[in-house]
Amino acid sequence: MQLEGLIPIQIKDKTFETLMSVYQIALNQVVEELEQIKLGMNRIYGYEIINHITSRIKTPDSIVKKMKKKNYKLNYQNLVYNINDIAGVRAICPTKSNIESLVSIINQLPNIKVIKEKDYITKPKESGYSGYHLIVEVPVQVEEKTLHVKVEIQLRTMAMDFWATNEHKVKYKTNKKISSLDSKKMVFYARILNFIDRKISRIYQKQLE
């Protein structure tokens, strides 16, 4: 997406509202593509490569907060070029092998261009988080112009999502800071879940073969 000049962000003005609507269109397109993959794989192979899909647009306050944290000046050019997760989709898969298959399929979609990938499955974060992230661009038609809009896709197994959802609640949805001991416990639990996830995935793959 291109915005000329360094126009300051005003989260209550018409420009910001219009920009968020463009991100919503891009988000809807990605969700539709993933829903079609889910439906198609179920029809062809008789099983779901995706268990469920969720999506969201970052709130204006979250966008501004992230830009300040990254020390970006609050203008639309920095917002569009540097903030990649304004539109976010999360697809939850039964197993890790499903994620591998889904990444391969997404990379071949004609209407989605993958511009960045982060593999936290092979190498989980220090916190214990495991998942696969892609930043993609999708074309959106606006007043006879084609804008290429970025959307973040997060892929997790159900076990990964269970841990990540609860870790977020523990760390960010309570008033107390998590202790060092409890933080280490969360990392340990993530490793246990990843171990179980891996074992179940192997059994599942063996049955498919």
Q: Is residue 173 part of a domain?
A: yes
How far, in Å, CA of 106 to CA of 87, rounded? 17
Neighbours of 75 (CB within 10 A): 15
**Which of 149, 161, 141 has its CA nearest to residue 27?**
149
Task: Let me know if residue 105 belongs to a domain.
Answer: yes
pLDDT tens series, the chain, 209 aa? 555 456 778 777 888 999 999 999 999 999 999 999 999 988 877 778 999 999 999 999 999 999 999 999 999 999 999 999 999 999 999 988 899 999 999 999 999 999 999 999 999 999 899 999 999 999 999 888 899 999 999 999 999 999 998 888 887 767 778 888 988 899 898 989 888 888 887 887 777 66
Secondary structure of residue 128 in the 3-state scheme: coil
Return the pLDDT at 200: 82
Residue 190: which residues within 8 A CB-CB, separation 6 or more? 124, 127, 128, 129, 130, 163, 167
Is 1 inside any structural domain?
no
Per-residue model confidence (pLDDT) at position 194: 85
Q: Could you tell me if residue 24 is inside a domain?
A: yes
Of 106, 102, 99, nearest in space to 122 by CA: 99
- For residue 21, what are the domain limits? 14-208
HSE value, Cβ hemisphere, 13 Å, CA-based, for 42: 12
CA distances for 72 relative to 6, 63, 79, 148, 149, angstroms? 12, 11, 8, 21, 19
Rounded-to-integer distance, Cα 98 and Cα 144, Å = 38
Report the SS3 class of residue 6. coil
Beta-strand pair 113-119/87-93:
unpaired
In a domain, 171, yes or no: yes
At residue 5, the pLDDT reads 52
Q: Would you say residue 49 lies in a domain?
A: yes
CATH number at residue 182: 3.30.460.10
pLDDT at res. 198? 83
Residue 6, domain member (yes or no): no
Res 56: pLDDT = 96
Residue 32 lies in a domain: yes
pLDDT on residue 120? 96
Measured distance CA(76)–CA(6) in Å, rounded:
6
For 120-123, the CB contacts below 8 A with 24+ separation are 121/96
How many domains are contained in the chain? 1
